[in-house]
Amino acid sequence: MLYEKYCLPWYRYAAEKIHADGKIMAMHLCGKIKPDLKLIRERGVDLVEAVSPIIVGGDVELPEVRKAWGERVVVNGGAPAGLDRGLRLWRSWKLPFRTVQVMS
């Protein structure tokens, strides 16, 4: 596949340089990401921001993300915007891991 041939090596190279500098590699990833799930760990990404669940137009749910990425990748997001206005949704979800906020 073209992505694996041309893009994946660049992400790996960038992650190596970023990690060598003592930093973490983060990326914004929203929308329909299901075909890309397994490649995230191969990229060397440490944190993914803005994973979109099905309810807001994405194509994955958080348990599926955790299964694909394991404990190595931190997810910042994954809950629909405006959730504070719809707490009944929140109570109906059984999120398998804690919410993480990353602040600089």
Residue 61 covered by a domain:
yes
How many structural domains does the chain have? Answer: 1
72's tokens? 């190595």
Q: Residues 48, 12: contact at Cβ < 8 Å?
A: no
**Per-chain mean pLDDT for the chain:** 76
Residue 34 covered by a domain:
yes
22's tokens? 């003592």
Residue 46 covered by a domain:
yes
pLDDT at 77 over 90: no
Residue 59 covered by a domain:
yes
| pTM for the predicted model, two decimal places | 0.66
Instruction: Give dist(CA 4, CA 10) in Å, integer.
Output: 10
Residue 104 covered by a domain:
no
Residue 97 covered by a domain:
no
Residue 51 covered by a domain:
yes
* Enclosing domain of residue 12: 2-92
pLDDT at 91 over 70: no
Confidence (pLDDT) at 78: 66
Residue 25 covered by a domain:
yes
